[in-house]
Amino acid sequence: MSLELAGRTWESRLILGTGGFRSLESMEQSLKASGTEIATVALRRVDPAAQGSVLEVIERLGLFLLPNTAGCYTARDAVRTARMAREAFATDWVKLEVIGDDRTLFPDAVELLRAAEELIGEGFVVLPYTNDDPILARRLEQIGCAAVMPLGSPIGSGAGIRNAYNIQILVEQAGVPVILDAGIGSASDAALAMELGCDGVLLASSVSRAKDPVAMATAMRKAVEAGFEARRAGRIPRRLYAEASTPGD
């Protein structure tokens, strides 16, 4: 079963960020190992000294490029960055990040909604990085976001999903795909996200900053598949006490 986002279907439910890799080689091999079809990039001032290009890697692998608005603190910045990205990459898609502060990198609900509304009005396909508040998620959905991307814990914290209940509630109430974005630390976190009903997982640091990024990318690919299949398989209920698996016990 494939993931549908804004009318396009994808075989992989894992989206990779390209930040934090030690080298373009490591990035390329990890992207390949992860099986992802979508990779995010940021926009920054031209640096003539920069070696090689993330763009070439993404094109060589035939991935779908998803620009983000990382580092924007206001709707105004985020909207301008999205417009620049549209011009630079000829894509209407944007991973919308509007950050509230630089310690938590948590989204700012008010500015996020403002930017999303503006960009949707301009015809963008908006994938907002949001917190785990189901009410905010519903607002983002109502104004026309193509998905909601709640965090599990702070970006790069590797702390996993700190409030699985909110994610569960958010998923139950969502009418668009839910992508768990930010906080994934290891494979079990990614599997849990899918078991909670998320439609996909977006991660970067857990792979790019792992001791062995390629091995972790492989692990994440399998973990997302495992969690997705486990969700569909229908797990057994949790019990306080035992339930014998051998007759007569």
Partner 1 sequence: MKIELNGETVELAEGASVAEAVHVAGAAERGVAVAVDGEVVPRGEWDTSALREGQHVEVLQAVAGG
By CB under 8 A, which span of 47-55, 110-118, 138-146, 163-171 interacts with partner 1? 47-55
Closer Cβ to a copy of itself, 90 or 238, answer by number: 238
DSSP alpha helix (H) spans, 102-162: 109-121, 134-142
Task: Indicate which of a copy of itself, partner 1, none lies near residue 125 (CB less than 5 to 8 Å, by partner kind).
Answer: none
How far apart are the C-alpha atoms of 10 and 66, rounded to whole Å? 14
Of the two residues 8 and 222, which places its CB atom closer to a copy of itself in the complex? 222
Sequence-ordered list of residues with C-beta below 8 angstroms from that of 143, at least 6 positions apart, any chain = 113, 116, 117, 120
Scan for tokens 């993330």, then name that residue: 54
Task: Looking at residues 80 to 139 of the shown chain, list those that interact with partner 1 (rule: CB under 8 A).
Answer: 80, 83-85, 87-89, 95, 97
Q: Quick one: 237 exposed, middle or buried, by C-beta within 10 A (0-12, 13-18, 19+)?
A: exposed
Nearest approach in angstroms of CB 21 to partner 1 is: 6
Contacts of 62 (CB under 8 A, 6+ apart): none
User: Which residue among 2, 53, 142, 173 contacts partner 1 (CB under 8 A)?
Assistant: 53
Region near partner 1 per CB under 8 A, out of 67-75, 100-108, 146-154, 219-227: 67-75
The single residue listed with the structure tokens 């486990």 is 230
Q: Could you tell which of partner 1, a copy of itself, none binds residue 67, using a CB distance below 5 to 8 A set by kind?
A: partner 1
Those residues whose C-beta lies under 8 Å from the C-beta of residue 210, and which sit 6 or more positions away, are 216
Residues 201-220 contacting partner 1, CB under 8 A: 204
- Residue 183 Cβ, how far from a copy of itself at the closest point, in Å? 9
209 binds, among a copy of itself, partner 1, none (CB under 5 to 8 A by kind): a copy of itself
How far apart (Å, rounded) are the C-alpha atoms in residues 169 and 222?
25
Q: Choose from partner 1, a copy of itself, none: what does 102 bind? Cβ within 5-8 Å by kind.
A: a copy of itself
Structure tokens at 41: 């990039």
Nearer to a copy of itself, 185 or 200 (CB): 185
CA–CA distance, 36 with 45 (Å, rounded to integer): 27
Query: Is the distance from CB of 18 to CB of 41 less than 8 angstroms?
Result: yes
| 3-state SS class at 110 | helix
95 is annotated as an active-site residue:
yes
Question: Is residue 246 close enough to count as binding partner 1 by CB under 8 A?
Answer: yes
Q: Which of 14, 70, 105, 137 binds partner 1 (CB under 8 A)?
A: 70
Mind telling me the catalytic residues?
95
Residues in contact with partner 1 by the rule CB under 8 A: 17-21, 27, 40-48, 50, 53-55, 65, 67-68, 70, 80, 83-85, 87-89, 95, 97, 204, 245-247, 249
